[in-house]
Amino acid sequence: MKIYNTLSRKKETFKPIEKDFVSLYTCGPTVYNYAHIGNLRTYVFEDIFKRTLLSNGYKVKHVMNITDVGHLTSDEDEGEDKMDVAVAREKKTPEEIADFYADAFKEDISKLNILQPDIWCKATEHIADMIKLVERIEKNGYSYVGKNGNVYFDTSKFANYGNFAKLDLDNLQSGARIEIDEDKKHPRDFVLWFLTKGSKFKGHILKWNSPWGEGWPGWHIECSAMSIKYLGENFDIHCGGVDHISIHHTNEIAQAEAATGKKWVNYWLHGEFLIMKQGKMAKSVGNFVTLKSLTDKNYDPLAFRYMCLNTHYRKKLNFDWEGLDSARNALSTLRENIRILKETDGLKTAQEKIEDYRSKFLDAINDDLNMPRALEVVWKLIREEEHINNQKKYEILLEFDKILGLDLGRIETSSKIPKEIDALIKKREEYRKKKDWEKADEVREEIRKKGYIIEDAPEGIRVKPI
Ligand code: AMP
Ligand code: ZN
């Protein structure tokens, strides 16, 4: 299996630390609001990755955090705390807000057929682990306390700081998740522990005692602390979106490696952004699309999953409604074909041919998760007229679906298309197989008279009410 490792900026052959076992950490949601479909694209990519690992026979231990401690928004919003904003907006406690949006997130990912992590970890339940990690960083001499009492990570002490992101440190500008703060020795230094006393954010609701005084953890420490706790000081894979490379993951690495004195994560995978015509997905520009806004328009969430599969995870995905319509049509055609395959036989099976499709599919996914190529194999197999019996096709497609996660075994069309039409479709298929085109056309006409049309699309058969 080959994967593109952000550490080396190269495709590498994946080798886990322990034979047949993979430790995987994925940065989870902030729970002050609904996830948008950009976030969800990243979780779909991570799910495909995890399913690919599983299909390669690895046992996977997957950990995902829930960021419920409250963090400052970026300088766009002049640094209000997101949790405080949500509390004021919704008139609920921070716990209620976090629980509500964490549940909404879990519902979203289950609708997208994303496998649940083995361990969910909430930041607020791991403050002691974060404090311990900051103490280790401090003991090793990588931190300092500013005049305001905040504990900072001293990036000048960490020789490899910024290598990961190939940062131009001398010209590093303040940006998302870089705090503007006169107490820092250097702009790239970041907070490990915020102190209430001396903070501009006096109203910060969530705070805890610590050896440095009452306050709350910095923006990056939770992922280092919780991943080490559950996966160890050296583990296999860490994933997230590309926006996290330059700051969040760079700082996670600095914290973990400063504390342990050794290499932390072996492979880093990053998913590219979902973008809209208007650019970045952000509430402020009015293009914040949630999964609920898709389902409100009667889209199947899995149509969005199909859309994600159709673009390589390291390419930008341009989201628009026409694109989603095409994905929806392709998915419903795929399902319709699967249903027909399930219910019809066909020619005698040639085992080599099946193996050929299986290996093409696996080659595609094992080549840095090339899902668009894997989907091409799926469609080619559906269109394959010779050599493979329909039952076999059906079985392999369901096997592929363990990775695609499109729930292809779900027979939803039967409820919409009457049994009588189903039977006629099968009858027509039989004629087509015998190349009796005349009879096949007669059946098509009969179906039309009963109010349904059949389209022989390049991807297969599509049935629609007229
Ligand atoms: P956040 O809640 O901001 O930490 O984001 C959750 C996940 O979504 C992270 O892995 C981000 O890198 C990722 N993400 C944020 N915005 C987008 C986007 N527009 N497209 C794809 N992934 C995104
Ligand atoms: Zn993280």
What's the pLDDT tens digit per position in 295-345?
999 899 999 999 999 999 999 999 999 999 999 999 999 998 898 888 776
Domains of the chain listed by start with CATH number:
2-271 (3.40.50.620), 299-408 (1.10.730.10), 414-466 (no CATH)
Tell me how far apart the alpha carbons of residues 376 and 404 are, in angstroms, rounded to a whole number.
12
Contacts of 48 (CB under 8 A, 6+ apart): 309, 313, 365, 369, 371, 403, 404, 405
Nearest atom (ligand 1) to Cα of 239: 10
Q: What is the per-residue burial (b if ≥16 Cβ within 10 Å, else e) of 134-171?
A: bbbbbeeebbbbbebbbbbbbbebbeebbebbebeeee
User: Ligand 2 centroid to 427 CA: how many Å?
Assistant: 55
User: Ligand 2 centroid to 27 CA: how many Å?
Assistant: 4
Q: What percent of the chain has pLDDT over 70?
A: 89
Nearest to 167 by CA among 192, 142, 191, 187: 187
Q: Among 49-58, 165-174, 211-220, 308-317, which stretch is predicted with the lowest mean pLDDT?
A: 165-174
Report the pLDDT value the prediction gives residue 278, as an integer from 0 to 100. 76
Q: What percent of the chain has pLDDT over 90?
A: 62
User: Ligand 2 centroid to 249 CA: how many Å?
Assistant: 7
Report the pLDDT value the prediction gives residue 85, as an integer from 0 to 100. 79
Nearest to 178 by CA among 279, 33, 76: 76
User: Ligand 2 centroid to 250 CA: how many Å?
Assistant: 10
CA-based radius of gyration for the chain:
26
Higher pLDDT, 21 or 205: 21
Nearest atom (ligand 1) to Cα of 317: 20
Q: Is 425 helix (H, G, I), strand (E, B) or coil?
A: helix
The H or E element that residue 50 is part of is helix 37-55
pLDDT digits (tens, 9 = 90+) for 407-441: 998 765 444 677 788 888 888 888 888 888 899 88
User: Ligand 2 centroid to 76 CA: how many Å?
Assistant: 21
Tell me how far apart the alpha carbons of residues 287 and 354 are, in angstroms, rounded to a whole number.
44
The letter for the amino acid at 157 is K
Question: Which ligand is the nearest neighbour of the Cα of 279?
Answer: 1
Average confidence score pLDDT of the chain: 88
Question: Which ligand is the nearest neighbour of the Cα of 244?
Answer: 1
Could you tell which of 6, 42, 72 is best to mutate to test the pocket of ligand 1, judged by most ligand atoms within 8 Å of the CB? 42
Nearest to 100 by CA among 178, 33, 184, 25: 33
Protein residue whose Cα sits closest to atom 18 of ligand 1: 38
Could you tell which of 26, 27, 39 is best to mutate to test the pocket of ligand 1, judged by most ligand atoms within 8 Å of the CB? 39
Q: Is the pLDDT of residue 180 over 70?
A: no
The letter for the amino acid at 451 is G
Q: Is beta strand 190-195 parallel, antiparallel or unpaired with respect to 59-66?
A: unpaired
Q: What angle do CA 14, 365, 269 make, to 5 degrees?
A: 50
Q: Among 8-22, 75-89, 124-138, 252-266, which stretch is predicted with the lowest mean pLDDT?
A: 75-89
Q: Among 175-179, 347-351, 459-463, which stretch is predicted with the lowest mean pLDDT?
A: 175-179
Protein residue whose Cα sits closest to atom 8 of ligand 1: 39
Protein residue whose Cα sits closest to atom 11 of ligand 1: 241
Dmax over CA atoms of the chain, in Å, equals 88
Nearest atom (ligand 1) to Cα of 242: 12
Q: What is the per-residue burial (b if ≥16 Cβ within 10 Å, else e) of 353-375?
A: ebebbeeebbebbbebbbbeebb
Tokens (6 digits) for 377: 């194999």
Nearest atom (ligand 1) to Cα of 39: 8
Strand order in the sheet with 151-153: 143-145, 151-153, 190-195, 215-217
User: Ligand 2 centroid to 248 CA: how many Å?
Assistant: 6
In Å, how far from its chain's centre is CA 234? Answer: 23
User: Ligand 1 centroid to 242 CA: how many Å?
Assistant: 8
User: Ligand 2 centroid to 228 CA: how many Å?
Assistant: 12
Tell me how far apart the alpha carbons of residues 87 and 168 are, in angstroms, rounded to a whole number.
38
Residues within 6 Å of ligand 1 by CB = 27, 29-30, 38-39, 41-42, 240-241, 243-244, 271, 273-274, 281
Q: What is the dihedral of CA 197, 93, 130, 134, to 10 degrees?
A: -10
Tell me how far apart the alpha carbons of residues 266 and 42 are, in angstroms, rounded to a whole number.
20
Q: Is beta strand 59-66 parallel, antiparallel or unpaired with respect to 10-13?
A: unpaired
For the segment 352-380, the average pLDDT, to the nearest whole number, is: 95
Contacts of 424 (CB under 8 A, 6+ apart): 443, 446, 447, 450
Nearest to 380 by CA among 353, 343, 350: 353
Contact present, 251 and 189 (Cβ < 8 Å) = no
